[in-house]
Amino acid sequence: MKKTTPRSPRPQLLPRSVSIIGTGSHVPARVMTNAEFAARKELDTSDEWIRSRTGIIERRFAGEKEFTSDMAAEAARRALSNANVKPDEVDLIIVATVTPDMPFPSTSTFVQHKLGAKRAACFDVNAACSGFLYALEIGQQFVAAHTYNTALVIGAEKLTSILDFTDRNTCVLFGDGAGAVVLRSRGGDSHGILTTCMGADGAQGDLLKVPAGGSRCPASHASVDGKLHAIRMMGREVFKQAVNAMNAAATEALARCNLNGPDIALVIPHQANLRIIDALGERISVPRDRIYVNLNRYGNTSAASVPIALDEAAHEGRIKRGDLVLMVAFGAGFTWASCVVQW
Ligand code: COA
């Protein structure tokens, strides 16, 4: 019998530190103001109600021919350029979204094609508004484990494609956009992603959902007539859970790093409601001037909200090398996630 040479065992590599080496974001040009909603008499809403209950003043709406993958690809181009990385250097693309271009193929494969990132493996992640931080943890693990060197992590949404514009409880809250980061190890640098936490409570799924379009309720005339392809939310209950879960996720990430709120230079929270953000700041002892807020301009962009805010904060000089940044999000599922980065 022919003898086979035993394969040499895989070298044991220690996990390496992973950094965000570039950020980018893109929002559609069309600005939709509160006043435009208020002008639709049948909605019976006002600028004052939306502003005082949510903090939102305006949001961006994508055009009919502008898809989630278009916004994702533009945000990714900007992140790659910011990181000085070429598309063919990207090993992995993860897109977090609840509004994919279509059920399959994944939005990440459309993004790969648009970028010309031919070497990249691609998949999507759905953890609703926590999706970007889930995807960031996954991308981080691949780079830390030496499986890949360069990962592109994107949060992108066209939420206007799943809004019921006759439901004032939801249609005024959401907007479209995309944000992206490039992950790599900077070698011996101990800076980078210090910790990531993720969690979920599947018992609460009914409080925030899109009921139809999946295997439970495939598209039909009845599902369309019943507006079952649009977001349904029990706002007051979601609000309470969001405050508790964001606080718990933030506290866990800080504890894992042996840090307290006052050590953090900037908090980047999911942008759903200014009152949720203020309650979080109060509970973790971080004043408003160290919490990044842009929901007044974009509303809730779900998985895109944290990476858009991170990119804007970085470009505005709100984050300096060595600063500790806390990101925290909460979303449908329920899901929650947090992350501490040393910039
Ligand atoms: N304009 C005017 N009135 C409105 C309105 C609007 N756009 N939307 C709701 N209302 C009304 C409601 O119908 C209700 O009227 P009623 O008392 O006659 O029934 C009243 O305002 C109060 O509703 P309520 O739901 O108690 O308001 P709220 O203070 O909780 O604010 C939200 C509503 C949706 C802004 C708030 O609950 C929220 O932000 N929830 C969490 C949202 C979130 O984080 N979602 C995503 C998680 S990722």
User: CATH number of the domain that 150 lies in?
Assistant: 3.40.47.10
Are 115 and 160 members of one domain? yes
Are 165 and 227 members of one domain? no
In whole angstroms, give the CA distance from residue 270 to residue 73.
21
In a domain, 130, yes or no: yes
State the total domains in the chain.
2
Give the residue from 159, 184, 209 where a domain finishes: 184
Give the residue from 126, 154, 184 where a domain finishes: 184
Are 180 and 209 members of one domain? no
Six-digit token pair at 62?
A: 């994508």
Q: Which of 236, 241, 243 to mutate to test the pocket of ligand 1 (most atoms within 8 A of CB)?
A: 236
Are 336 and 200 members of one domain? yes
Q: CB burial class (10 A; 0-12, 13-18, 19+) of residue 171?
A: buried
Are 38 and 171 members of one domain? yes
Ligand 1 center to residue 45 CA distance, Å? 11
Ligand 1, atom 3: closest residue by C-alpha: 45
Ligand 1, atom 44: closest residue by C-alpha: 272
Ligand 1 center to residue 273 CA distance, Å? 10
In whole angstroms, give the CA distance from residue 35 to residue 297.
14
Ligand 1, atom 10: closest residue by C-alpha: 169
Put residue 300 in one of left, alpha, beta given phi > 0 → left and psi -120 to 50 → alpha: beta
Give the residue from 184, 210, 235 where a domain finishes: 184
Are 236 and 138 members of one domain? no
Q: What is the DSSP string of 222-256?
A: HHHHTTTTS-EE-HHHHHHHHHHHHHHHHHHHHHH
Q: At what angle do helices 68-83 and 107-115 cross, to 10 degrees?
A: 50
Q: At what angle do helices 68-83 and 305-315 cross, to 10 degrees?
A: 30
In a domain, 11, yes or no: no
Q: Please give the single-letter amino acid code of residue 22.
A: G
In a domain, 3, yes or no: no
101-145 tens-digit pLDDT: 999 999 999 999 999 999 999 999 999 999 999 999 999 999 999
Ligand 1 center to residue 170 CA distance, Å? 8
Assess whether the previous peptide bond of 334 is cis (omega < 30° from 0). Answer: yes
Q: Please give the single-letter amino acid code of residue 164.
A: D
Q: Is the CB of 235 under 6 A from ligand 1?
A: yes
285-332 tens-digit pLDDT: 999 999 999 999 999 999 999 999 999 999 999 999 999 999 999 999
Question: Which atom of ligand 1 is closest in space to residue 172's alpha carbon?
Answer: 7
Active-site residue flag, 300: yes
Q: Which of 34, 167, 169, 243 to mutate to test the pocket of ligand 1 (most atoms within 8 A of CB)?
A: 169
In a domain, 7, yes or no: no
Strand order in the sheet with 176-184: 19-26, 176-184, 151-158, 92-96, 121-125
Give phi and psi for 26, each to the nearest 5: -150, 130
If we measure between CA atoms, which residue out of 235, 248, 234, 323 comes closest to residue 280?
248
Q: Is the CB of 131 under 6 A from ligand 1?
A: no
Buried b (16+ CB within 10 A) or exposed e, 248-281: bbbbebbeeeebebeebbbbbbbbbbbebbbbbb
pLDDT value at position 187?
Answer: 81
pLDDT value at position 305?
Answer: 98
Ligand 1 center to residue 154 CA distance, Å? 29
Active-site residue flag, 129: yes
In a domain, 6, yes or no: no
Are 171 and 230 members of one domain? no
Are 54 and 108 members of one domain? yes
Q: Is the CB of 305 under 6 A from ligand 1?
A: no
Are 120 and 259 members of one domain? no
Q: Are 100 and 135 in contact (CB under 8 A)?
A: no
Q: Please give the single-letter amino acid code of residue 30.
A: R
pTM given for the model: 0.95
Q: Is the CB of 95 under 6 A from ligand 1?
A: no
Are 157 and 302 members of one domain? no
Are 74 and 219 members of one domain? no
In a domain, 232, yes or no: yes
In a domain, 260, yes or no: yes
Active-site residue flag, 270: yes
State the residue range of the domain holding 61.
19-184
Are 275 and 239 members of one domain? yes
Q: Is the CB of 325 under 6 A from ligand 1?
A: no
Altogether, the residues listed in the chain come to a count of 343
In a domain, 176, yes or no: yes
| pLDDT string in tens for the chain (343-residue length) | 566 666 666 667 788 899 999 999 999 999 999 999 999 999 999 999 999 999 999 999 999 999 999 999 999 999 999 999 999 999 999 999 999 999 999 999 999 999 999 999 999 999 999 999 999 999 999 999 999 999 999 999 999 999 999 999 999 999 999 999 999 998 877 789 999 999 999 999 999 999 999 999 999 999 999 999 999 999 999 999 999 999 999 999 999 999 999 999 999 999 999 999 999 999 999 999 999 999 999 999 999 999 999 999 999 999 999 999 999 999 999 999 999 999 9
Put residue 228 in one of left, alpha, beta given phi > 0 → left and psi -120 to 50 → alpha: alpha
